Structure 1
């Protein structure tokens, strides 16, 4: 019996030891337990704080509660692991030893800043608490210890305001309501007849603190906590809770950050930039985040705390001026800047505080940057031998490259325009739109099809929906590291900040600069490269890169083009998958070739039927009840189609051209109103009643799943015959021209679900090809394949591959038919699906890899099992979306096809996919 008891005790001891083995708190400072590779556990901020401590930068000591605590918090009804309290107390004790201060001490108090730190930076999305540890007793000690009573009570009122807002829930009723604490402060300032917060004396601040505490009691029915550990756990809980607030959820949805990652919480000893004129705080970048230039870039405030800089409450000074006000601190920051880039090998965004002339580093991270800056920084770091071309290609977000192609204001029109005023250029590019003053107004206008510019005094995370909807963002306060600037840069939005002369009145819904008054709905134009603001709408012009492609600018005169060209060359060196374009006209084809397209992956022939007389002949063909009449109309269309294909073949100069035969349902071409029906009746010599009857006869309940694609060709083979003849006669004309033009047509039969459907259509194509080649005495190289766009085609791809020489996955329709969702109507519920994490992202923007992706993989595997050399591509809109491109590489497609402006994005994403494979 005794032996059994011993064994049981040993088992319990082992179990307890195992439970204790989970470490939830990691320290940094003199004792540093983490490093920069531990972002999954410590979050980006915690991992980098540990790394900076390791490389001996002046980091105030502290500790990080891991992302596993966040996961536990949500999995266990907002409670914590049992060992966490003891770990936190031990970590606090270690910080006390290093700082020689005591948390909650009435003589020499230790104060903390409590900040979030997700694996991916989410600026402004979650909550922060500073000056934690102050109460009615410790504030007296801080005043005595610092010798600055005003400073101590200013810290206390800031802490109460932050804690009251974030932890205790004293918040405005809606986005346009005043902050309750601000109302209390404004009331006191009016009584005292002063304008600025800095004019409040220590006694004034004591009165303000009493009023703040009274407000908290009124709103929450609870007193402001005096116990410092109660404060600490309240702040920690608030930061973890903010992982699931609306703005954080919205941000994660936009940037594909999984909710399961969670956030870490960083607790760090406070250092004070608001201690007087020998103190300050700032945010800086090792390079310019707007354009990537290798200059020390940032801003600071004297006698301030960090939140003052990023909140935009006071407009800060440029970092270069710190050299005049605090030369030693500026020189030390220059050394830190060089050390950070040399160590992290990327542009860093860091926060610092100077306390009584001593520099402290509060955080660093890879800086958010515009697309232009991402390209320039990567390009120049290779030239500086900091990184190699592989790192450069991997580092640039594929979507960023498209920002080098965005329009700028038309130079001629810009010369005529006079700026109203100038702000800080925070997000490059040109934007024009209707003035709106709230996120709700922005979304409402965009829903009506209007472009808008969101104009705010300063933005906050609550404005995120409006920022997403807008063409550009304008603020009258804040600097280049304000919330507006940071978020705009990441979104690739045009942004101008800190335009002091702009006066915004939310009540009257006006924006005033001097004597000029713009009302909500008026047009405004902003230049995020120069910072200029204009009344009215200014037309845009192509970017520098586009101007080079258009022959309007020589490559040697455009540094932007040189960078773009080199990045694309590096991408092409590493990618293994081809990139084609979706193009229907020679102009589109030429643009795509300039962007690096290697062929046309989708030419939609139906787009060719809407110009001029063609739509009349098309309608005549559709309305015909007899084959002979259809053939007469088709004969009229033949010439137009042949000329179109000839133009495409010439533009593509021998590159492959995949032509999809007529795909949409016929009703799309028919007139739907009485006047249009009368006009077509008169044009083709029939009665309006006949037209009306035929329209009714052709009506389908669900045309998307009806008489379209190959079904049309099977019912009316003469349609397939005419299109095939147009293709082959155009090819023959190119091959027999004086100046011979190579051709490589690939004829794609749409909407195939059965092998027999494809067989019937392939027979028509081969028959016409033989007739044309015989008549023109020329041999035309061509292929016939199909579009895999309904689930049955993927499921039976092994059978279909017996007849198809290539597959092109039409993932637009494949997504619709697999998910049972219409891309035109899903917008009504997709936002809810994303918010509830049913779908991580819009499946029409980025391919549903788990569901639709399995069908694509099945089509690839089954197709190659039958025909090992089969050519495989994708031609849906997913072909230009980076994550979808990387998926296409993984499943083994030969190429992706996308719209011309997305070709550079696809080239870069394909290179990144290939490099990830090598790793």
Structure 2
């Protein structure tokens, strides 16, 4: 073995490191240790490749002397630290020259020799010397191709293998350092100084006489992960030709559609199966193997992690764990939490052609197709006709929730990842794209104008991809979600591993049913306002808003009471034994009122009031900044009848659920708190309602009162607020908005520029700002616990489904996070990751 600072022969005992030579070099060493028939290979480390890019070549004479045989033909492949970072494509048959051509002509025949020489000249000219492709494609003989090369380069085609290899190594090293390549790998998470290794390998020809050829094989279905021999083999071929020309390739296993390698060379086929099984056991992964056959003898050229879709990825790691090849903790860590989103939602078919009309924020994952509709009523009408539709709005409001329930997807001109449309869509599991760049929506004209001036109207078909933020032309084929045994295993193993709770934001029985099916730890946020948007309830709610005084308001609320009570009873019964945290009414009342002409006219008719009076009242209720106005606890203090009705509905539902045998301890959360006195005033009234219901029903029950910390002042004054509360639940949507002084609905217009310029590392509405908002969370939690050590601390904003936020909350000692139901599996896996990695770090410190 020759081991120099510049390159190393790959042998079983050679000092080959993935972080110095790359993953391909290390994998080849493992294959050699397994005594597989791997051609002689040399690894060039990262630092030597950098030197080559800078003009300092390695000792090629010594390197080439390590390879024997006649003719001496080599290949070079890239070997990056992580395969996902890519690298330059392989170059084969380095060393092809007039001498090699003559030797091959004598041994394999003129046709094979000409084919190899022509292919190498083309490859060297186009891929290494960067010459135009067209003239070489027109050349059909080696002589013609050499003539084109010499005309273009004004020098002879290189005959010395050292000159050819030097040119190849320089080209690959410099390609890695190029701007485009650097940006592409950085998008995959590579550091700016990521290195490239190169492996030089003796060519194993598949062009010989008899049974010779090349192929690629893997042992699982790339779409499902189910065990299945997949791949192709082609006689008298090299590299991956079998995959590029499937019409001329053989199947690997017996197949009614044509001949197979299993029939042609059963011994070699059996050897390939053995290679796959040994790779799986020793490399602890499902591998894709590139091989050649030279007159019936197998050579293994390379093995890489087999390509796979999300579903297959989950199936593969769970199978490895079930078979004892990897521990369950490693299986969990091998799955990126975001991968689970692809299993939960319909996705664009990866093979489907797509025409992008616009791009926006990927606000809620999944894909949906349908005809354009521009108002909630038309979405509901489409649902009644069983027609798929996409609801398009400039931005959504609570009044649009009914239409969102009916639509297959939502597209908005304005908004970001935590805008109203995004939050509600994620809760519904509805694909959503917000803040679409260059899109202009006209609800009046019922049109969408694209950036190029094209106009789409009601009834035109589009597809939205909420996973990528793309708006696509027409009805693009999609793939259905798949929740199989592998998914259920991951959920069960995540529950066993994690040490932080995961609850769901659930406003309806349907939400809660879905969340319970995912094995959630309870409901962390039930937004009661969403219960009022049913048409029958909305009219009563509007009567309450238009009431002249407390007594009239109480009369209208009396009609809403049984509706809320029934809702809560269903939730408590369904979630028996698990906590249910109900947030009292939060949004400003004007959000329950119509804003357009026909809606206002319909309201005037329903209330039997003059249209002018209704318009005047609606105008009077408008606020300059409603998100900072009359909402949350301010409603409960200014109009105490609202919170009293909701408290009575909660407690009467508790009594009803207890009577049916359910285990219930409701949690009541006060929104938008800023001061201890606010909590004290609301608590006094709720305690009185609880006492009255206990007296009336003769049933004892407990409840827990807490606050939603979503203002900076509440976080700073958490110590005194904790004196009145059982729990502090940080609502990071509004807390981020107020801390930054940013509207979460408008930030999407400029946030990409801010991130690109490095003002913020990430969109703070998508990824928790641990430096600013995170400090408020830490302060609030510490000050609350200093006064009340047993207080429960949680996060219930949309950040609750973000892996980075979950890791932060776990380190901060939070008891649970809460997120929309469709993000629960992602959150559970992320929580398991945080626990496993945190435990490993703790063990490392102790050792």
Q: What TM-score, normalized by structure 1, do the two folds share?
A: 0.69
The aligned runs of 1:121-200 (5 Å cut-off) are 121-122=84-85, 125-131=86-92, 133=94, 140=101, 143=104, 147-148=108-109, 150-151=111-112, 154-155=115-116, 157-159=118-120, 181=133, 184=135
Instruction: Summarize the Cα distance change of 1:647–1:363 in structure 2 as closer, same or farther, 3 Å threshold.
Output: same
Match of 1:30 among 11, 27, 42: 11
- Write the deviation string for residues 341-369 of structure 1: whole angstroms up to 9, x where unpaired: 22122222333333554433333344343
CA offsets, 1:42-86, max 9 Å, x none?
33323323333344433344454555678x79xxxx964xxx936
Query: C-alpha distance in 1, partners of 2:183/2:168?
Result: 24
Structure 1, residues 633-676: CA drift from partner, whole Å, max 9, x if none? 33332222222111211211232101112223333322111111
Per mean C-alpha deviation after superposition, the further-off stretch among 715-724 and 839-848 is: 839-848
Q: 1:717 to 1:363 in 2, by over 3 A?
A: farther
Structure 2 residue 714 is matched with structure 1 residue 777: no
How far the C-alpha of 1:601 sits from its partner, in A, is: 1.0
Match of 1:814 in 2: 735
* Map of 1:97 onto structure 2: 65
User: Is residue 239 from structure 1 mapped to residue 172 from structure 2 by the alignment?
Assistant: no
| Contact 1:49–1:364 (CA under 8 A) maintained in structure 2 | yes
Q: Is the 8 A contact 1:132 1:232 kept in 2?
A: no
Partner-residue secondary structure (3-state), 2:569: helix
Match of 2:22 among 43, 46, 53: 43
Partner of 1:531: none
Is residue 345–residue 386 contact of structure 1 (8 Å, CA) maintained in 2?
Answer: yes
CA distance, structure 2, for counterparts of residue 818 and residue 139 of structure 1: 71
SS at structure 1 position matched to 2:84: coil
Q: Does 1:726 align with 2:649?
A: yes
The residue aligned with 2:449 is none
Aligned to 2:707: 786
Q: Is the 8 A contact 1:445 1:452 kept in 2?
A: no
CA contact (8 A) 2:680 2:724 kept: yes
After superposition, residues 306-325 of structure 1 pair within 5 angstroms as 306-309=239-242, 316-320=249-253, 321-325=260-264
| Secondary structure of residue in 2 paired with 1:613 | helix
Deviations 1:500-546 (A, max 9, x none): xxxxxxxxxxxxxxxxxxxxx9899xxxxxxxxxx989999885x5x
- What is the deviation of 1:875? 2.2
Q: 1:565 deviation in Å? A: 4.3
In structure 1, the gaps of 5 or more residues are: 1-21, 102-106, 171-179, 189-199, 408-429, 454-470, 472-492, 494-520, 525-534, 546-559
3-state SS, counterpart of residue 320 of structure 2: helix
Cα deviation, residue 782, structure 1: 1.0
SS at structure 1 position matched to 2:223: coil
Inter-CA distance 287–307: structure 2 relative to 1 (3 Å threshold): closer
Is contact 1:371-1:403 (8 Å) kept?
yes
* Distance in 2 separating the partners of 1:53 and 1:897: 49
Whole-angstrom CA distance in 2 between matches of 1:141 and 1:836? 59
User: How many positions carry a matched residue from both structures?
Assistant: 729
Q: Which residue matches 1:657?
A: 580
C-alpha offsets along residues 67-106 of structure 1, whole Å, 9 cap, x if unaligned?
Answer: 5678x79xxxx964xxx936x32xx4554233127xxxxx
Residue-by-residue CA offset, 1:242-262 (whole Å, 9 max, x unaligned): 774565455x2xxxx243462
Say which SS state the counterpart of residue 306 (structure 1) adopts: coil
CA distance 1:592–1:345, change in 2 (3 Å): same
Partner of 1:717: 640
1:58 correspondence with 2:37: yes
* Alignment gaps of 5+ in structure 2: 254-259, 371-408, 410-430, 432-459, 464-473, 841-847
Report whether the alignment pairs 1:339 with 2:278: yes
Distance 1:391 1:631, change over 3 A: same
Contact 2:728-2:794 at 8 Å conserved across structures:
yes
Contact 1:436 1:452 in 2 (8 A): no
CA distance in 1, matches of 2:687, 2:791: 18
What displacement does 1:868 show? Answer: 1.7
Q: Kindly state the Cα deviation for residue 787 of structure 1 after the two structures are TM-superposed.
A: 2.0
Q: Distance in 2 between matches of 1:914 and 1:100?
A: 52
Show the counterpart of 1:114.
Answer: 77
Deviation at 1:894, TM superposition (A): 1.7
Note the C-alpha offset of 1:567.
4.2
Q: Deviations over 1:231-251 (max 9, x none)?
A: 42122110232774565455x
2:837 corresponds to which residue? Answer: 916
Instruction: State whether residues 524 and 580 of structure 2, in contact with CA within 8 Å, keep that contact through their aligned partners in structure 1.
Output: yes
Alpha-carbon distance in 1 for matches of 2:707, 2:588: 18
* Correspondence list, 1:273-422, <5 A: 273=205, 275-276=207-208, 278-309=211-242, 316-320=249-253, 321-400=260-339
Distance in 1 between residues matched to 2:761 and 2:93, nearest whole Å: 36
TM-superposed CA distance for 1:337, in Å, is: 1.7
Q: Is the 8 A contact 2:332 2:833 kept in 1?
A: yes
Aligned CA-pair RMSD: 4.3
1:646/1:43 Cα in 2 relative to 1: closer, same or farther (>3 Å)?
Answer: same
CA contact (8 A) 1:281 1:352 kept: yes
Shift of 1:781: 1.2
- TM-superposed deviation, 1:680: 0.8
Distance change >3 Å, CA 710–CA 281, structure 1 → 2: farther
Task: Judge which range, 222-231 or 662-671, deviates more.
Answer: 222-231
Question: CA deviation digits over 1:816-851, x for unaligned, max 9?
Answer: 444555544444455566667776665544444455
Deviations 1:315-342 (A, max 9, x none): 7543323233444443332232222122
With the length of structure 2 as denominator, give the TM-score of the two structures: 0.75
Counterparts of 1:312 and 1:795 in 2: how far apart (Å)? 66
- Name the SS for the 2:535 alignment partner: coil
Aligned match of 1:678: 601
Tell me what 2:396 maps to.
none
* Deviation, structure 1 residue 783: 1.0
Distance 1:210 1:765, change over 3 A: farther
Alpha-carbon distance between aligned partners in 1 of 2:636 and 2:834, rounded to the nearest angstrom: 38
Change (3 A) 1:274 1:599: same
- SS of aligned partner of 2:170: helix
